[in-house]
Amino acid sequence: MRIPRIYLPVALSLGAHVELDDVSAHHVRSVLRLKKGHSLSLFDGEGFEYGAVLVLVSKKSVTLEVESAGPCDTESRLVIYLGLGISRGERMDFAIQKSVELGVAGVSPLFTERTVVKVDTTVRALQKQSHWQKVAQHASEQSGRAKVPEVNPPQPLLSWLKQCSGLKLFLDPLSTRSLGDLDTVPDCVSLLSGPEGGFSPLEREQAFDAGFTGICLGPRILRTETAVLAGVALLQATWGDLGFRG
């Protein structure tokens, strides 16, 4: 059985007894149905991994003892900041989950002209952000990442465009350029991917004005959740660590 892995952003040390928060405790006790003596892996989001064993599993609490510690070196050498047009329901969850598995460093959900999801209050926006952050956390736990990428609060496209850094690329089916046409080896990329229906002509112009280069992923039209995964995977295979051994 694969050793379960849990994100625990607290100071950890050898021999320490650590009580899990309610959500993680419920997962260990009621979903995984683990018992006293079972091994788990903890990571703190700062690049360290800890081996631990369950010493108490009860209805009130779940406690572990830290038995080993070491570095966790699973982060990509290519830093990818993803600007992601908000899409509906499971499509957005899927895109965030798989992008995190592929190694993005951060995700910014974006309101665009063709966004169909209504996030019309601050409370609703914070609820969405909290949900998507949990999706990112679980993806990091499952995929063995050293860090949990931050999912930023939803924001307008133009706001995000103004704060981007590194090589600026956006997935544009109207472009005639591919990634192979670029003569550069970046260590940081801001990648923009659209919602259902893609970007409007005005938004494409705004991206160009902000210094973004459009790249095409091929002759076929990809769904929004497919396009973003293809884009991130292509970046990692070209400049990052996808397929890397060593």
The CATH number for 38's domain is 2.40.240.20
Over residues 44-70, the mean pLDDT reads 92
Question: Beta strands of the chain (E only): which ranges?
Answer: 5-7, 17-19, 39-43, 48-57, 62-71, 79-85, 106-111, 150-151, 155-156, 167-171, 188-193, 213-215
What is the tally of structural domains in the chain?
Answer: 2
pLDDT at position 1 is 58
The answer on 152 and 230 residing in a single domain is yes
In a domain, 246, yes or no: no
Mean pLDDT over 72-85 rounds to 95
CA 103 to chain centroid, in Å, comes to: 7
Range of the domain at 125: 79-239
> SS3 for 56?
strand
Instruction: Tell me, rounded to whole angstroms, the distance of Cα 89 from its chain centroid.
Output: 16
Note whether 207 and 199 are within 8 A (CB).
yes
Can you tell me the distance from the alpha carbon of 80 to that of 219, in angstroms, rounded to the nearest whole number? 24
105 has pLDDT over 70: yes
Q: At residue 213, what are phi and psi to the nearest 5 degrees?
A: -110, 130
Whether residues 96 and 193 fall in one domain: yes
CA distances to 58, 222, 240 from 194, rounded to whole Å, are 46, 11, 22
Measured distance CA(82)–CA(192) in Å, rounded: 6
In a domain, 106, yes or no: yes
Q: Which of 172, 165, 147 is nearest to 85 (CA)?
A: 172
Predicted TM-score of the model (pTM): 0.91
Q: What residues contact 87, with CB distance under 8 A and at least 6 apart?
A: 95, 115, 116, 117, 195, 196, 224, 225
Residues 106 and 142 in one domain: yes
Numbers of helices and strands, H then E, in the chain: 6, 12
CA distances from 99 to 19, 68, 123, 234 (A): 30, 30, 25, 12
Regarding whether 147 and 64 lie in a shared domain, the answer is no
Query: Residue 88: what pLDDT?
Result: 85
Q: Is the domain of 35 the same as that of 107? A: no
**Whether residue 37 is found in the same domain as residue 121:** no
pLDDT band at 244 (very low <50, low <70, confident <90, very high): low
Element (H, E) at 228: helix 224-239
Which residue, 40, 71, 102, sits at the end of a domain?
71
Compute the average pLDDT of residues 113-140.
86
Domain end, chosen from 55, 71, 87, is at 71
Residue 245 lies in a domain: no
Q: What pLDDT score does 243 carry?
A: 75
Clarify whether residues 53 and 143 are in a common domain. no
The tens digit of pLDDT for each residue in 4-32 reads: 899 998 888 899 999 998 888 998 999 98
- Distance between CA atoms of residues 139 and 156, nearest Å: 25
Give me the amino acid identity at 49: E
- Residue range 174-186: mean pLDDT, rounded: 92
